[in-house]
Every structure is written in structure tokens, then in C-alpha cells.
Amino acid sequence: MTQTVHVPLGDRAYDVVIGQGLLAGAAELIAPLLHRPRVAIVTDETVAAAHLPALQAALAEGGIASTALRLPPGEATKAWPQFSRTVEWLLEHKVERRDIVIALGGGVIGDLVGFAAAVLRRGVRFVQIPTSLLAQVDSSVGGKTGINAPQGKNLIGSFHQPSLVLADIDVLDTLTPRDFLAGYGEVVKYGLLGDAEFFAWLENNGPQLAAGKADLRAYAVRRSVEMKAEIVVRDETEQGDRALLNLGHTFCHALEAATGYSDRLLHGEGVAIGCALAFELSSRLGLCSQEEPSRVRAHLKAMGMKTDLADIPGNLPDAAGLLDLMGQDKKVIDGTLRFILAHGIGAAFVTSDVPRDKVLAVLAEGLAAR
Ligand code: GLY
């Protein structure tokens, strides 16, 4: 069964369609957006091998011609060289302003292609077909697009909303367990930040969902997208509330920088550890009881996920070094670090009022357990 979450952003409104068999049904879903029956698809080599033939065949069957660019897989693609290659390829293929570009892939492809669409001829429309759990529940929705700079992640980009998102639950079957669980870190984040009932549902259903139950996966994606859509509609360009979506991310970004954005720590793994640290810090600050961080960590552990600093292989900087890396976060305003803390599960809020020594203590304790 297919479910639709509408993102009501006025003239930039769009649907996120969630369900099984959406690649096979792509022509019917995309056709209403087209002025002429052709699309340009940008993907990566790994996703292309798994899903591009099925997508192109489905489009052809629906009378839509397509051409595809396959970029190298991996985070290094999300930078100027592959970005300019993509923009020039789209121009060579005479993609016009009223055409549609399809981003078929995970977060790297979605962010890069969205940004290419944002600047091509001053803006063409694009469709996200996210193929990772992380992209389905987070990066494909909400219009953040961009690439990395040598100075940091996602520092070059723009807000450019997609015209449609197709989250095909079936494609999640091709993910490795590690990639799936990394995406699950973002799913847990939604329960923790604003929906205690959803977190309890995840505690009960997470293991079966990870084992492959499609209806549970579809519900988790839908609830995550609903929550993201609500927040994005309130604060599209992150002037306030949208920062809630960054629960766990201030810690995560420091840990990703400390591990060189390498295989040592995937983004979603860093988010999960970051959420556990944010709850620990909240409890130390007397904002919630000690049971709350324990419950968060218990669920992550039950799912077989990285939960603590001790779960990150290799060396890490000391607590002061990690705090320094947190200072590079995009949430820094006028030199003050903003944290997403919580009064309890499902009750997160944004604050700048966090004593440095308390953050250092939480980090030092986590590092001492390594
Ligand atoms: N990934 C956080 C956001 O879209 O705001």
C-alpha cells in the first residue's frame, strides 16, 4: 500500500510518496510533472547497478525517455569536481528549465543533484528517489541541498525543494545491515525529539523492522517524514525550530570530523551516539531524569547500534579537542554553540545556555570508558 505525506509549502508544496514498488510505478507518478516526456537521472555507480535498469525500464514503459549520469559512490563525490561535472552534463543534455532532473541515490546524490538543480538555469525542478533509509527519512525531504568544502561539510548550498519524493521501501532491502542501522539512527532521532509514543513504538518494533518487515519500515519512514515535514513547514530556512532536527548532530559533527569522515563512523552512527550524549547532558543539567538517557542507550544497544564513544574504533581527541571541533558546527551563532537538549523523550528544545564544564564532563566520562 502507498502512503503520501504532503509538504504544504505554498508554491513549493510537494508530496512524499512512501510504499513498495514505487520504482516500477515511477512513470505514472512522475508524468504529471513533465512538460515533455524525458528526464535526466543522476545516480552513483553502486545505486545504478542495483536500481537504474529497473527505473529506466519503468520510465520507458510509461513513454518517458531517460538518460543517466553515474557518479562515483562516496562522500568525496559531494564536492566541486563532480558538482561541475553534473551541471555541465545536464547542460550538454539540454535539460531545460521546465524539465525534471531525478536524483536516484542516498544523501550524497540527493544533496549534490538538488544543488545542481537549484543553480542550473537559475533553478530547475527535481525529483528525489532516495535509496538509503537515511535519505528517505531525512535528506530527501526539506530542500537542503549542497556540497562539502575543504573547510567543512555542507558549507556550500541552497534551499531548493524537490517537486516529488518517491521513497520505495523495497530498495531498502539492498542496504547492508550497517547502512540500514545508520539510517535508523535518524529514525530514532524523530521519536526522541518530538514523539515519545513513536519512540516506544520503535522500542517494540525496531528489531522486526530491521529484520525486513516492510509494513513496519513503511510506518517508520512515514512517521519520520511527517515529523520532518511539520518542522520544515514551520521553519523552512532554519531560523529557529528546524534546528530540532539536529538533535545529536552537534556531537555527531565533531565525531565525524575527529574520525576524518571515514568508515570509522557513518553519519547516522554519529547521530545515534550524539543523541545518547545529548540526553546524558540533559540529565546532568537536571533537565530530565537519569532514566531517560539510560532508556535511549538501551534501545540503541538492543538494535546492535553504536551507542557510546567507546564504540568508535581508533583514537579520538580529548574532551577539550572534541569541544573545539563542536565549535565548527553550523549552529554556532555569534560564536555561541547551540545545543539541542531534552526535557525527556519526545521533548527536545534548542538552547545556547549550556555550561562548558558540563559538556566537557560528559565527553571526558565517555572517553574514559574507552
Ligand atoms: N537534516 C536536517 C534538516 O534537514 O534540517
* CATH number of the domain bearing residue 259: 1.20.1090.10
Ligand 1 atom closest to 186 (CA): 1
Q: Which residues pair with 129 in a beta bridge?
A: 104
Nearest to 14 by CA among 164, 146, 141: 164
Residues 346 and 364 in one domain: yes
E strands present in the chain: 3-7, 14-19, 38-44, 65-71, 100-105, 125-130, 144-149, 152-159, 164-168, 339-342, 348-351
What is the percent of the chain with per-residue pLDDT over 90, rounded to a whole number? 90
Residues 187 and 165 in one domain: no
Tell which of 174, 207, 225 closes a domain. 174
Residues 169 and 189 in one domain: no
Rounded distance from Cα 76 to ligand 1 centre (Å): 20
- What is the predicted pLDDT for the residue at 330? 58
Residues 162 and 272 in one domain: no
Residues 334 and 219 in one domain: yes
Residues 325 and 235 in one domain: yes
Residues 47 and 169 in one domain: yes
- What is the predicted pLDDT for the residue at 129? 98
Flag whether pLDDT at 172 surpasses 80. yes
Instruction: Please give the mean pLDDT across all residues of the chain.
Output: 95
Rounded distance from Cα 51 to ligand 1 centre (Å): 26
Rounded distance from Cα 146 to ligand 1 centre (Å): 12
Rounded distance from Cα 244 to ligand 1 centre (Å): 9
What CA–CA distance (Å, rounded) separates 343 from 327?
A: 24
Residues 250 and 296 in one domain: yes
pLDDT band for position 150 (50/70/90)? confident
Residues with CB under 6 A from ligand 1: 138, 142, 144, 242, 245-246
Residues 204 and 350 in one domain: yes
Flag whether pLDDT at 165 surpasses 70. yes
Flag whether pLDDT at 332 surpasses 70. no
Q: What is the CATH number of the domain that holds 39?
A: 3.40.50.1970
Single pTM value for the model: 0.95
Tell which of 155, 174, 193 closes a domain. 174
Flag whether pLDDT at 45 surpasses 80. yes
Give the domain extent around 167. 3-174
- What is the predicted pLDDT for the residue at 153? 85
Residues 186 and 281 in one domain: yes
Pocket test for ligand 1, best of 228, 256, 271 (most atoms within 8 A of CB): 228
Give the residue whose CA is nearest to atom 2 of ligand 1: 245
- What is the predicted pLDDT for the residue at 328? 67
Pocket test for ligand 1, best of 133, 137, 144, 253 (most atoms within 8 A of CB): 144
Pocket test for ligand 1, best of 245, 250, 267 (most atoms within 8 A of CB): 245
Residues 212 and 289 in one domain: yes
Flag whether pLDDT at 261 surpasses 90. no
Domain count, the chain: 2
What CA–CA distance (Å, rounded) separates 186 from 232?
A: 16
Q: Please state the separation of Cα 278 from the chain's center in Å.
A: 18
pLDDT band for position 333 (50/70/90)? low
Q: Element (H or E) spanning 276, and its range?
A: helix 267-284
The conformational region for residue 202 under phi > 0 = left, psi -120 to 50 = alpha, else beta, is alpha
pLDDT digits (tens, 9 = 90+) for 193-205: 999 999 999 999 9
Rounded distance from Cα 285 to ligand 1 centre (Å): 26
Lowest mean pLDDT segment, chosen from 41-45, 207-211, 314-318, 353-357: 353-357
- What is the predicted pLDDT for the residue at 337? 77
Tell which of 154, 174, 194 closes a domain. 174
Residues 210 and 305 in one domain: yes
**Active centre residues (catalytic):** 122, 144, 186, 228, 238, 242, 246, 249, 253, 267
pLDDT digits (tens, 9 = 90+) for 218-238: 999 999 999 999 999 999 999
